[in-house]
Every structure is written in C-alpha cells, then in structure tokens.
Amino acid sequence: MSLAAEAFVSQIAAAEPWPENAALFQPLKDDQVLLSDCASSLAVQAYLRMCNLPVQVCCRANAEHMSPSGKVPFIHVGNQVVSELGPIVQFTKAKVVGCVSGQGLSNGPLSCKRHLQHCAEGSAVFLQGHSLSDGLDDVQRAEMKAYMELVNNMLLTAELYIQWCDEATAAQITRPRYSSPYPWPLNHILAYQKQWEVRRKMSAIGWAGKSLEQVYEDVSQCCQALSQRLGTQQYFFNKQPTELDALVFGHLFTILTTQLTSDELSDKIKSYSNLLSFCRRIEHNYFQEHERPGLDPLSIRPSLM
Amino acid sequence: MGTVHARSLDPLPMHGPDLGLHPDDAELVEAEPETKQEVLENKDVIVQRVHIDGLGRTKEDLLGYEIADVFMAKNLIDVMKKSHEAREKLLRLGIFRKVEVVIDTAEGEDALPNGLDVTFEVTELRRLTGSYNTMVGNNEGSMVLGVKLPNIFGRAEKLTFQFSYGTKETSYGLSFFKPQLGHFDRNICVNLYKVTGQFPWSSLRETDRGIATEFNFPIWKTNHTLKWEGVWRELGCLARTASFAVREESGHSLKSSLSHAMVIDTRNSAILPRRGALFRINQELAGYTGGDASFLKEDFEIQLNRRLFWDSVLSASLWGGMILPVGDKPASIADRSYINKVNVINGESDIYLEQFAVTGDYLGGEAYWAGGLHLYTPLPFRPGRGGFGDLFRTHFFLNAGNLCNLNYGEGPRAHLQKLAEYIRWSYGAGIVLRLGNIARLELNYCIPMGVQIGDRICDGVQFGAGIRFL
C-alpha cells in the first residue's frame, strides 16, 4: 500500500472510537520475551494507560512475525494493526475519543462512558484526539523528540547489544528464551538467524567494535542526561506525562526488574535516585492505582515499591 | 554382357527401384548370394554376444540387467522383439541420447552357424546439461535456470538443480535420484528445496525450506511412494490489510511428516487422456517424527475416461480429502489451504474452493470434495486436423464441490451432511490447449451456481493454466 493510501486508511479509522476489545500483542511473558521487547511493550502499555485507553495484553509466541513491521509490540484496534511506540502515538492522536465539554477539558482518568455522558448532557461538545504532548510548545516538543531519540539510540541499542552481542548473555539467556517456542532444529536456526541480523545491524551503526564496558558507559551517560533533564520534576515536562515518560519508564523499569547475567546494567541506573523515584511514581500512578478488569497489572514483575 | 545391354535398352527399369545403380553393380549383387543366404525366420538361433558400443562413463553392470533378456531369444523374431524392448529400457534410463540396434550373424572362431551378435550403438548424454526458461504465472514473472547431471556416477543416477529468480521471489531445488540396478521403477529420490509462494487470495506469503526423501516402488499394477518430509515453513502477511485471522497464523513452524501414496494409472496420457482410469490415494501423518505441526491428512483422486463417438472423450473425476488435527492445536493455514493449492489457477473450479474470513481472505477448509464431468470433443469442423489442430479440444464441463470445517463433536454423519449441503457448482464450455504432455491451457466461459455468501465468484470468461485438473 502506498503511503498516501495508508494515511487515508488511518484517517478513516480515526473516525471510529477506541473499541473495548483493543489488544496489545507481545511475546510470551514467562519464557520468551527479551529485555528489549519487554521494554518496548511496557513503554506502549504505559503510554496507553497515560492516555486512558484500555487495552488487553495478549501473549503470542509468534507476535514478532504477526507484527506488520516485524517488531513488537503491536496493537490491534478495530481492524487496524499498528506497531511500535512512534506509530502508535500517531495513531492515538488521530483517534477521536476525547471530548471537550462545557465543564472544561476532560482529560485524565475519566472513563469513556463518562465522556459519553458529558456528550449526552448536551454541553458544547467537540472532539479531539488523544495526545499527551499537545500542551507542549514547539521547543518542548522538539526537545521531547530529541530525548526519545536518545533513549532509542542509546538504551534500546545497548539492550540489543547486551542481549545478542555479549556471548555469555546470548548463550545463557537470549538464545534459549528467543527460541523456546520452536522445536529442534528450528530453535537453533531461528536464534542464530536473529543474532546474525542484530549483529549486522550493530556493525552498520558502528557498535560492533564496542566492548561491554563502553556500552555500560554509554548507558550511564544516557541516564545522566535523562536524570539532569528530569531534575526534581514529577515528569519530564512538569506535571503532565508525555510519550517520553512512557518510553523512559518502559526501558528503565524493565532493566531494573530483569535478571541478567550481571547486575551491572541495573546498577548504572540505580545510581540516579531521581530516575528510580520517577519509575516508582509511574508504576504507582498508572499500574497500581488504576486497577480495572481488562487492564494488565505488572503483577508478574517484581514491583519497585 | 549381352544381357546387360538388353536390360539397359529396356525402358521399364527407369521406374524400378534400382534406378541409381550402375549396371555393373547390379550384376555383382545378383551374382553373389544364393549360396550363403538362409532364411532364419523360423529357425532356432542363439544370441552369442551382445555388444554395447559408445559407452563412456556408464558402468557395464547397470546395462547387464537391461539387456539380459536378449540372450533368452530363441528365434529371429524373438531377437528383434527383445532387442527392441532392451532399447526401450536403455532409453528409459535417461542416460542415452540415442540407441541403435544392429543384429548380425556371429563372427569369429567360436561362431555357431546359427549364432547372432547384437550390437547396441549408444550415444551418451553429456555430463552436464543446462536449460533456461522464463515463466509467467501467479502474478509474477520468473527466470528458471536448470542444471542437470545425468548419469553422474555411471549407474543412471541423476542430479538436478533448478534456480528460479522471479520479480518477487527466489526459489531453488536440488534433487538426487538413484534407481535400483535392474529395477528402474524402484528408486530413491532426495530433494532439498526452498520455495516461496504468494497467495493473494489469502493475503499470505509462504516460504518453505525443506528436505524430502522419497522411496518409489511398484507392487503388481500399483505404484507406491513412501516419503518423509521435513519442512520449515515461514508464513507472513502480504499486506497490512490482511485479515487478522491470517495474521495470527504468521511465523515459523516445522512440519515433519511421513506419507504414503498409491497410484493406479491406466490412462494413455496424463493430459487429455482418451481412455483409462486413474486412482490415487495419499495419506500423510505429521507430528510423530518431530516438528510442531501434527495432523493426519487423507486425500483421494479418481478419474475415469471413456471414448465416445467422433473422437470425443467423456471424463469424470472425483477428489476428496480431509485433515484431522492431532492434539489441541488447530491445523495451520499452510496445511489447510492445500485444497486450493493443488488447483491454484484453474478458474473454473475456483468457486467452490473459497471460504473466507471476515475480511475476505481464504482460510482453507478441513474437509472437501470436488467432482467434475467433462466432455472433450475435437474443434468444430476440425481445422488443422492431424497437426496443430489436434492440440486443441473443445470441452463442456459441469463441476461441483464443497468444503467445510470439522467440529469434532458432531460425529461423521453430521459432517457428511454438511458437505452435502449448499453445494457449489458451475457449468460452462471452453477450449483447451495441450502443452507437451505436462500442462494445459484453458479458455472457458463459466456460469457458477449455488454460490455461498463469502465465495469469490469468477463467472464469465476465464483463462487458466495448470498441471492438475479435475
């Protein structure tokens, strides 16, 4: 499909409200999912919770192959399939769910039903898409995008490096987990195929020659930048969370709660106390307070509390 | 010399057979025989020696089995018949380009008066032959390069490699074939392949990488094939708009299956036969030898051909089959959609082979049957008779079929009833072109009947090509 046609389809889809049966697909939680995929999935879940869009988390062994871009997670909304955080943010922006009524901006933890009630009460109603970054000015938005790129380029790449390029981690954790749903000899073929693919990507971006120490150093620098930007604020842009908060939370929380061959990676983050409390805050605000049926708590993972 | 003169004056021999002969030669030929010539036709003869000339890399022990019968011949007619049979056998090995037979009286010291020598003059195929084809089909154009090494180890083994480079997909296959000495029908075949196919009606893309070992052997009048196949299958969606039911099937799976096929084929030709019948039954059991696909699949095919008046042929066929998943997992779309795959491009039978998911992608069925009745006649007024025109046939057809999913709680009676309900059928007429002895092209006008909701209808004029037809 051409880009124009795709844009058209997503515009059409935008006319429909967020359905009850929206689902997020990710690999099997216990045996299969890897650090990087888990982080990306958690970032999307956090983002959707911040937008107050309910989503059912479905674990599938073939989630990676079901995804249109070959990357997890992806969401299935109506008959639309959208993968990865960036496109999902764009997609929810186009979705018409939020209402602005006479009683002011109804944002935050209001259920859809209450939105509809507002609409029914006959107050001045117009529709608006879901967006967390609408309150930002252009400079802030550019800054947010820059920090999101930093997280994707540093944290995500470091996670991939440690998973696939550090031979101890690859042999003990990554390959057995990645290939767990497949029978012999397919499990070995697929794991090595994936490893080769990631390593090729690493050499394309110049990470192949890096040592593990250098990667830890990069992670540390990235965390320092994030920590400085966050400062003593509640979220990166003051009181309102944005997609940057969701992304940072997804990665940091996953790194902190995942057992790897060494604890060095999580130790790098633990040295920044404001980042730790930032993770606790989001976990508390979005994954514990809002317990509702249909929402998936982080019960499987150890809490930071 | 006087007689010669007399003959040369005679005007009649001008039309005779010995026109080109010089008068002197004619005299010599006439003068020589009488004494030595014997009529061997009804006498006992002994084949003393069989020579094979022109052998290069072919091992002689292989040929010993093929020509052994020639020694059994007791009279000249028999020798000629047996030699002819031996020649056919040698040609069937697929290692000689040309085989010629020369029968002569035995020569040498131990030559018997009624002894014969039979000489096979053979020309071997080259060590390496190549081919190059271009193909268009399945919404794709491709270039096929083939390399064949016939008789690679000198005992009729054959190694073939095919590589197809298409506008969308690349496929290849490597195959090794070895017949048993003296029993060409008993053979082993090992295949390694990668095949990629796009199935737009399912929005599905499938890549198969596999290895298959096949053992073929005849028993009485039947041919059997035992096969083990290990295939790594990769399914993916063709487009973002693919229905979610197809998307859910994406990913990797490994099938390891044992199958057995039995074929009885008395037809005179595989394409547009005039007489004879075909019966084929195939069963496949997957999952017990490894892999994560487990099912039991049964298929059968019956075809009867009968010659009627004016070179017309009536052909009736019936196909059927079912797939039973073993265990809790439902059968993958890669195993189910086989019903469509066998008849990929045959438009006329499209209508009943379609069953759709919500957004219209073909998902395949678990049980199916299909029947067809064809009447093939020569072209009206028979243009190009005895030549090009014989490649064409007009045909009238009536096809019917159905497929359904099996819900195992209901029992076989309910399933049979389901297959008998809402039968899709169609009729029409068209022209068939026979391509070699392997494929045919069809141009049909088809009228579908009994169409169910969700079926993709192909009515009107259709064009199709294929290898297997109802």
Interface probe with A: pick from B207, B250, B256, most Cβ of A within 10 Å: B250
Say if residue A73 is preceded by a cis peptide, omega within 30 of 0. Answer: yes
- The whole-angstrom distance between A243's CA and the closest CA on chain B is 25
Convert the pLDDT of each residue in B54-96 to its tens digit: 888 888 888 888 888 888 888 888 888 999 999 998 888 888 8
Nearest to B90 by CA among B159, B154, B184, B177: B184
Q: Name the band, by pLDDT with cuts 50, 70 and 90, for residue A127.
A: very low
What average pLDDT does range B145-151 have in this prediction? 91
Q: pLDDT tier at A168 (50, 70, 90 boundaries)?
A: very high
The C-alpha atoms of residue B301 and residue B320 are separated, in whole angstroms, by 7
Average pLDDT estimate for B318-335: 80
**pLDDT for residue A295:** 37
Nearest CA in chain A to B287: A183
Answer yes or no: are the C-beta atoms of A64 and A55 closer than 8 Å: no
Residue A254 banded pLDDT, cuts 50, 70, 90: very high
Of A219, A250, A249, nearest to A234 (Cα)?
Answer: A249
**Which of B232, B241, B246, B252 would best serve as a mutation to test chain A binding (most A beta carbons within 10 A)?**
B252
**What are the CA-CA distances from residue A37 to residues A241, B83, B461 (Å)?**
22, 72, 51
Checking if the pLDDT of B468 tops 80, the result is no
Strands B424-435 and B460-466: unpaired
pLDDT value of residue A13: 56
Contact B93, B184 (CB under 8 A): yes
Backbone angles phi, psi at A282, to 5 degrees: -65, -40
Asked if B292 lies within 8 A of A182 by C-beta distance, the reply is: yes
Backbone torsions φ then ψ of A106, nearest 5 degrees = -100, 90
Q: Which residue has the tokens 């083939």?
A: B146
Chain A nearest-CA distance from B252, in A, is 8
Distance CA A88, CA A93 (A): 8
The pLDDT of residue A8: 59
- A131-145 mean pLDDT: 87
Residue to test with chain B: of A2, A28, A66, A91, most B Cβ within 10 A: A66
Q: Do A1 and B292 touch (CB under 8 A)?
A: no
**Is the CB of residue B237 less than 8 Å away from at least one CB of chain A?**
yes
Q: What is the DSSP string of B7-50?
A: HHH-SGGGGSTTTTS-HHHHHHHHHSTTSS----TTSB-EEEEE
The CA distance from A110 to A69, in Å, is: 32
- Residue B454: strand, helix, or coil: coil
Length of chain B: 470
Q: Is the pLDDT of residue B433 over 60?
A: yes
Q: Which residue of B has its CA nearest to A60?
A: B248
Min Cα distance A247 → chain B (Å) is: 25
Phi, psi of A54 (to 5 degrees): -70, 140
| DSSP-based three-state secondary structure for B434 | strand
CB–CB of B69/B90 below 8 Å?
no
Q: Is the pLDDT of residue B15 over 80?
A: no
What value does the mean pLDDT take over residues A68-93?
89
Confidence check: pLDDT of B467 > 70: no
Q: Which residues in chain A have Cβ-Cβ distances shorter than 8 Å to B329?
A: none
Q: At a CB cut-off of 8 Å and minimum separation 6, what does A8 contact?
A: none
Instruction: Specify the amino acid at residue B401.
Output: G
Q: To which residue do tokens 């190549």 refer?
A: B130
Cβ separation B251–A1 shorter than 8 A: no
pLDDT band at B425 (very low <50, low <70, confident <90, very high): confident
Question: Between β-strands B115-124 and B96-105, what pairing exists: parallel, antiparallel or unpaired?
Answer: antiparallel
Reported as a pLDDT band with limits 50, 70 and 90, residue A6 is low
Chain B residue numbers with beta carbons less than 8 Å from the beta carbon of A66 are: 247-248, 250-251
CA-CA-CA-CA dihedral for B237, B238, B239, B243, to nearest 10: -50
- Name the residue with higher pLDDT: B241 or B353: B241
Whether residue B250 and residue A76 make contact (CB cut-off 8 A), yes or no, is no
pLDDT band at A15; cut points 50, 70, 90: low
Residue B172 to chain A, least CA–CA distance (Å): 19
What residues have CB less than 8 Å from B180, skipping those under 6 apart? B186, B187
Which superfamily, per CATH, for B23-124? membrane protein fhac (3.10.20.310)
- Say whether A183 and B290 touch across the interface (CB within 8 A): yes
Chain A touched by B207 (CB under 8 Å): no
B376-394 pLDDT, tens per residue? 988 887 777 777 777 888 8
Q: Are B137 and B154 in contact (CB under 8 A)?
A: no
Nearest-by-CA chain B residue for A68: B240
Buried b (16+ CB within 10 A) or exposed e, B20-34: eeeeeeeeeeeeeee
pLDDT of A128 > 60? The answer is no
Put simply, the answer to whether A79 touches B247 (Cβ < 8 Å) is: no
Identify the CA nearest to B255 among candidates B296, B213, B287. Answer: B287
Looking at residue B225, its pLDDT comes to: 95
Tell me if A66 and B247 make a contact (CB, 8 A cut-off).
Answer: yes
Contact residues on chain B for A76, CB-CB shorter than 8 A: 244
* Nearest CA distance, B247 vs chain A (angstrom): 5
Chain A interface, Cβ < 8 Å to B:
1, 6, 9, 60-62, 64-66, 68, 76, 79, 81, 182-184, 186, 189-190
pLDDT tier for residue B452 given thresholds of 50, 70 and 90: low
B247–A81 CB contact, under 8 Å: yes
Q: Where are the domains of chain B?
A: 23-124, 203-466
Measure Cα distances from B426 to A155, B70, B317, B381 in Å.
Answer: 61, 55, 15, 27
CATH 1.10.3470 fits A138-288, yes or no: no
Residue A293 has pLDDT above 90, yes or no: no
- Is residue A282's pLDDT more than 70? yes
Q: Which long-range contacts (CB under 8 A, 24 or more apart) does A47-51 make?
A: A47/A85, A47/A88, A47/A89, A47/A92, A47/A132, A47/A243, A47/A246, A47/A247, A48/A24, A48/A75, A48/A88, A48/A92, A49/A286, A49/A287, A49/A290, A49/A295, A50/A132, A50/A241, A50/A245, A50/A246, A50/A286, A51/A92, A51/A130, A51/A132
| Cα–Cα distance for residue pair A81/A91, rounded to 1 Å | 10
Asked whether A127 and A99 are in contact (CB, 8 A), the reply is: yes
Token pair 């007619």 in the structure block, residue: B77
pLDDT of residue A42: 94
Closest-CA distance, B349 to chain A, in angstroms, reads 30
Alpha-carbon distance of B391 to B257, in angstroms, equals: 39
At residue B215 the predicted structure's pLDDT band, cuts being 50, 70 and 90, is: very high
- Give the residue on A whose Cα is nearest the Cα of B293: A183
Domain definitions of chain A by residue range: 96-128, 138-288
Smallest CA-to-CA distance from A295 within A16, A18, A22 is with: A22
Q: Choose the closest CB to B244 out of A1, A76, A184.
A: A76
d(CA A280, CA A167) in angstroms, rounded, equals: 32
pLDDT at A225 over 90: yes
Instruction: Give the model's pLDDT for residue B113.
Output: 81
Find residues 272-291 of chain B whose CB sits inside 8 Å of chain A: 290-291
At residue B328, the pLDDT reads 77
Distance in angstroms (rounded) separating the CA atoms of residues A55 and A112: 13
Chain A interface test: which of B204, B240, B249, B294 (most A C-beta within 10 Å): B240
Q: How many CA atoms lie within 13 A of A174 on its CB side?
A: 24
Q: Indicate the residue of A1, A60, A65 with minimum beta-carbon distance to B236.
A: A65
Put simply, the answer to whether A64 touches B291 (Cβ < 8 Å) is no
Positive or negative, the Cα torsion across A230, A234, A240, A244?
positive
- Please tell me which residue, B97 or B330, carries the higher pLDDT value: B97
- Looking at residues A139-166, what average pLDDT do you find? 93
**Average pLDDT over chain B, rounded to an integer:** 77
A22 residue type, one letter: A
> A2, A24, A60, A62: which to substitute to probe chain B, counting the most B Cβ within 10 Å?
A62
Res B293: pLDDT: 86
Q: Check residue B57 and give its pLDDT.
A: 87
How confident is the model over B246-305, as pLDDT tens digits?
Answer: 888 899 999 999 999 999 999 888 788 888 999 999 999 998 888 888 888 898 999 999
Q: What is the pLDDT of residue B194?
A: 94
Say if residues B413 and B399 touch (Cβ distance below 8 Å). no
A9 confidence band (pLDDT: 50, 70, 90)? low
Contacts of A81 in chain B (CB under 8 A): 240, 244, 247
Residue B176 has pLDDT above 90, yes or no: yes
**pLDDT, position B216:** 95
Residue B217's SS3 state is strand
* SS3 state at A95: coil
* pLDDT digits 0-9 by tens, A175-205: 999 999 999 889 999 999 999 999 999 999 9
Test A65 with B252 for CB contact under 8 angstroms.
yes
Do residues A79 and A69 lie in contact, with contact meaning Cβ atoms separated by under 8 Å?
Answer: no
Burial of B361-378, coded b for 16+ CB within 10 Å and e otherwise, reads: bbbbbbbbbbbbbbbbbb
Percent of chain B with pLDDT over 90: 22
Locate the chain B residue with the closest alpha carbon to A62.
B251
Position B356 pLDDT exceeds 50: no
Range with top average pLDDT, B7-11, B273-277, B440-444: B273-277
State the greatest distance between any 2 C-alpha atoms of chain A, in Å, as a whole number.
Answer: 64
Of the given ranges (A98-112, B256-270, B395-409), which has the lowest mean pLDDT?
A98-112
B23-124 and B203-466 share one fold: no
B240 and A CB contact within 8 Å: yes
| DSSP conformation class of A227 | H
Min mean pLDDT across B74-83, B211-220, B226-235 is at B74-83
Shortest alpha-carbon distance between residue B431 and chain A (Å): 37
Highest mean pLDDT pick, A230-234, B10-14, B56-60, B347-351: A230-234
* Interchain proximity A1–B239, CB inside 8 Å: yes
CA distance B428 to B396: 6
Fold annotation for B203-466: Porin (2.40.160)
Looking at the whole model, is its pTM more than 0.95?
no
Q: What is the pLDDT of residue B407?
A: 62
Q: Which residue has the tokens 């359905």?
A: A19
Judge whether residue B220 has pLDDT over 80.
yes
* Residue B446 buriedness (CB in 10 A; 0-12 / 13-18 / 19+): buried
Give Cα separations from B464 to A270, B257, B381, B394 (angstroms). Answer: 67, 31, 25, 14
For residue B419, the surrounding DSSP H or E stretch is helix B411-420
Please state the ipTM of this predicted complex.
0.79
